Chains A and B, each alone.
Chain A
Amino acid sequence: MTIVITLAYLLAAVLFILGLKQLSSPKGARNGNFTAAAGMVIAIGATIPQLRFTGAGIAIIGIGVVIGATVGTVGARMVKMTAIPQMVALFNGVGGGAAALVAVSELLHFGRNPAFAEAFPSVFSIVIGSVSFAGSAVAFAKLQELMTGTPITYPGQQLVNAVLAAAILGFAIAVLAVASVPFSFVSLMLLALVLGVAFVLPIGGADMPVVISLLNAFTGLAVAATGFTLNNFALIVAGTLVGASGSLLTKLMSDAMGRSLTNTLFGAFGQLKAGAAGATGVPGRQVRAGTPEDLATLLAYSRRVIIVPGYGLAVAQAQHAVRELAELLEKRGVEVTYAIHPVAGRMPGHMNVLLAEANVPYEQLKEMDEINDEFKDADVALVVGANDVVNPAARSSPGSPIYGMPILNADRAKNIVFMKRSMRPGFAGIDNELLYDPKTIMFFGDAKDSLTKLVNAVKAA
Chain B
Amino acid sequence: MSPELLNEFTFFVLAVFVGIEVISKVPTILHTPLMSGTNAIHGIILVGAIFIAAGASSPLSIALGLVAVILATTNVVGGFVVTDRMLEMFKGRQAPRNP
Contact = CB atoms under 8 A, between A and B. Distances in A.
A24 B71 contact: no
A276 interface: no
Interface string A39-50: 110011001100
Given A26-B27, A54-B54, A104-B64, A347 B32 contact: yes
A26 B32 CA distance: 12
Contacts of A97: 71
A414 B73 CA distance: 54
A216 B39 contact: yes
B53 A216 contact: no
A222 B44 CA distance: 11
Interface in B5-39: 5, 8, 11-12, 15-20, 22-39
A445 B47 CA distance: 50
Interface in B40-80: 40-57, 60-62, 64-80
Given A20-B37, A37-B80, A342-B28, A95 B71 contact: yes
A33 B42 contact: no
B74 A349 contact: no
A97 B74 CA distance: 11
Nearest to B82: A76
B8 to A, nearest CB: 6
Contacts of B79: 72, 76, 88, 91, 95
Interface string A97-130: 1110110111011000000010000000000000
A242 B82 contact: no
B80 to A, nearest CB: 5
B52 to A, nearest CB: 4
Contacts of B78: 71-73, 75-76, 87, 90-91, 94
Contact of A29 (B75, B80, B87): B87
Contact of B47 (A17, A19, A44, A69): A44
A105 B44 contact: no
Given A24-B26, A249-B26, A94 B72 contact: yes
Interface in A34-80: 34, 36-37, 39-40, 43-44, 47-48, 51-54, 56-57, 60-61, 63-65, 67-69, 71-73, 75-77, 79
Nearest to B9: A228
B78 to A, nearest CB: 3
Contact of B19 (A44, A72, A102, A240): A240
Interface residues of B, number: 86
Contacts, number: 383
A441 interface: no
A300 B46 CA distance: 58
A79 B27 CA distance: 25
Contacts of B95: 356
Contacts of A56: 56-57, 62
Contact of A362 (B5, B26, B81, B93): B93
B82 to A, nearest CB: 4
Contact of B41 (A65, A236, A238, A356): A238
B42 A220 contact: yes
A71 to B, nearest CB: 5
Given A97-B71, A234-B44, A356-B93, A252 B2 contact: no
Interface in A340-381: 342, 347-350, 352-353, 356-357, 359, 361-362
Nearest to A225: B12
A106 B49 CA distance: 10
Contact of A233 (B8, B24, B55, B68): B8
Given A37-B80, A236-B12, A57 B55 contact: yes
A253 interface: yes
A23 interface: yes
Contacts of A236: 8, 11-12, 15
Contacts of B53: 57, 60-61, 64
Nearest to B69: A64
B19 A29 contact: no
A48 B45 contact: no
Interface string A17-31: 101110111100110
A202 interface: no
Contacts of A88: 32, 35-36, 39, 79, 82
Contacts of B62: 56, 60
